Amino acid sequence: MKLIGIADTTFARYDMGKAAIDELERTGTGFRIIRVTVPGMKDLPVACKKLIEEQHCDICMALGMPGPMPKDKMCADEASNGLIRAQLMTNTHIIEVFVHEDEAKSDSELAWLADRRAREHAVNVYDLLFRPERLTQRAGTGLRQGFEDKGPVYKQ
């Protein structure tokens, strides 16, 4: 039985943790989920590190929503750096699922984007744990999570 950690925030304007859990449960079995919710994205690195070191999670998702202001963007960079450090310190994947509020043109598009990105990364997490060959089959195909895939390019 594998353990998947889900860390999300109250700052986010959409319940991405719920979407990720729903998608994981639709995708397969053989895992248990441990969810923690923190105030904001800068609290995600230690939340994930604790999920890995204290709760023995095999992989984590860190779901957050940076706001549109310059100080939010700076926080997003700091949170992202923290998540990378936590991965290196624990030798464990933490899949960062950030949806910047200003990626969307309206609240309804933001909800759609947050739901879809959380779900698509949930499948990535499942694949990393249980069927990594599925990722390799898709290498270099320009996949994106949320908005449309970019697709591959070919040399002449």
Ligand X SMILES: Cc1nc2c(=O)[nH]c(=O)nc-2n(C[C@H](O)[C@H](O)[C@H](O)CO)c1C
9 sits near ligand X (criterion: CB under 6 A): yes
Rounded to whole angstroms, the Cα distance separating 95 from 134 reads 17
Which of 8, 72, 115, 127 touches ligand X (CB under 6 A)?
72
In the region spanning residues 96 to 135, those forming contacts with ligand X, defined by CB under 6 A, are: none
User: Is 66 a residue that touches ligand X (CB under 6 A)?
Assistant: yes
Which CB sits closer to ligand X, 82 or 123?
Answer: 82
Distance CA 5, CA 66 (A): 20
Grouping H, G, I as helix, E, B as strand and the rest as coil, residue 151 is coil
37 closest CA partner among 50, 26, 28: 50
Stretch near ligand X under the rule CB under 6 A, chosen from 67-75, 88-96, 120-128, 138-146: 67-75
**For ligand X, which residue has the nearest CB?**
40
17 lies in the binding site for ligand X (CB under 6 A): no
Least Cβ distance, residue 10 to ligand X (angstroms) = 8
Please state the closest distance from residue 104 (CB atom) to ligand X, in A. Answer: 14
DSSP string spanning 9-44?
ESSSSS-HHHHHHHHHHHH--SEEEEEEEESSGGGH
Segment lying near ligand X (by CB under 6 A), choices 41-49, 50-58, 109-117, 130-138: 41-49
Give the total of residues touching ligand X (CB under 6 A): 14
Residues in the chain: 156
| Cα–Cα distance measured from residue 77 to residue 55, given in angstroms and rounded to the nearest whole number | 26
Task: State which of residues 15, 34, 40, 103 lies at the interface with ligand X (CB under 6 A).
Answer: 40
Please report whether residue 32 would count as binding ligand X according to CB under 6 A: no
Q: What is the DSSP string of 109-147?
A: HHHHHHHHHHHHHHHHHHHHHH-HHHHHHTTTS---SSS
Q: Which residues bind ligand X (CB under 6 A)?
A: 9, 11, 39-43, 64-67, 71-72, 75
